[in-house]
Amino acid sequence: MKVARLKSVSRNVATLLAVAALLGACATGPELPPPAAGTGQVVVAMRLIEKAVDDTNVSDEYAVRRERHITGKTLPDMVVVLEGGSGGSATPGDCEITLTSDGFSRRQLLLRAGGTLKVTNQRKDAVSVFGFSREGNEVAVNLEPGASSSVPVPKAGAYEMVTESDNSAYAVLHVVESGAAWIGASDQYAVFRDVKPGTYKAVVYQARAEGWSREVTVIANGREDLKAELKVAKRR
């Protein structure tokens, strides 16, 4: 009887250890120091899922070609915004992009409203670069070959960056009022620290492709880990 009991206890312990190991393996997100008193944290991890080109929400054939993705690689310049949030992840007050013979050097940019956008023209010809938002706001830069220019962007919105003569150049400038916005590669974590308790909307943007969003409730002294699964076009 005692031997049977010992075997049963041993099996139970082994099971608990296996479950603990599995939970540890499934844990996501970096280790963080505790949030400031009365605030919480939000951590967003991104996972890329390949889909057929026809299933990917893109606007034209050029965009499909630019957004094709190879398994195991990462996408740069992913933008994550915690709508309604404040503090924790400092939105940059300036950003820059370069126009080359292959198009813009970046797919997406992030800027706080009132910040400065710097544009450089590395082409051999003069060019005009425009940014248009759905709200009807606009930024414009005229550049001679090799020249750079900086312009303020006072209004929030998602600006589609294009040139007047070359539709192969395309990027999105995300301008936000909130300080709770992040930009980085898809294999990194978007971390928002010291977020006041409340319900927010976490939004992940990728250029000319389907994004992701999720409501999240932050509690004092708590942490919320989110996994954003993003569709990317599959190479044929």
- Residue 43 is assigned to a structural domain of this protein: yes
Average of per-residue pLDDT across 152-175 = 92
Same domain as 217, residue 187: yes
What is the Rg, in whole angstroms, of the alpha carbon atoms belonging to the chain?
23
For residue 235, the number of C-alpha atoms closer than 13 Å in the C-beta half-sphere is 7
Strand pairing class (171-176; 108-112) = parallel
Nearest alpha-carbon partner for 172 in 183, 159, 153: 159
Q: Are residues 83 and 103 in the same domain?
A: no
Whether residue 10 lies inside any domain: the answer is no
Non-local (6+) Cβ contacts of 221 within 8 A are 34, 35, 37, 38, 39, 40
Alpha carbon distance 77, 149 (integer Å): 22
Residue 3 lies in a domain: no
Per the structure, the count of domains in the chain is: 2
The CA distance from 8 to 15, in Å, is 11
Mark whether 87 and 183 lie in a shared domain: yes
Check whether 125 has a pLDDT greater than 70: yes
Question: Average of pLDDT values for 50-66?
Answer: 49
Q: Which residues form the domain of 124?
A: 94-171
> Is 190 domain-assigned?
yes
Percent over 90 (pLDDT), the chain: 62
Greater pLDDT, 85 or 111? 111
| Residue of 148, 142, 145 whose CA lies nearest to 96 | 148
Average model confidence (pLDDT) for the chain? 82
Residue 135 and residue 235 in one domain: no
pTM of the model: 0.78
- CATH label of the domain that carries residue 76: 2.60.40.1120
- Tell me the mean pLDDT in the region 29-48: 93
pLDDT of residue 14: 47
Specify the pLDDT at position 166.
Answer: 81
Other residues' Cβ atoms within 10 Å of the Cβ of residue 198: 12
Read off the pLDDT of residues 187-213 as tens digits, 9 standing for 90 and up: 999 999 999 999 999 999 987 677 899
Q: Are residues 104 and 164 in the same domain?
A: yes
25 found inside a domain: no
Domain co-membership, 103 together with 46:
no
**pLDDT, tens digit, 9 for 90 and up, residues 134-147:** 999 999 999 999 99
- Domain containing 112 — which CATH number? 2.60.40.420
Whose tokens are 């090799």? That residue is 146
Is residue 45 one of the residues assigned to a domain?
Answer: yes
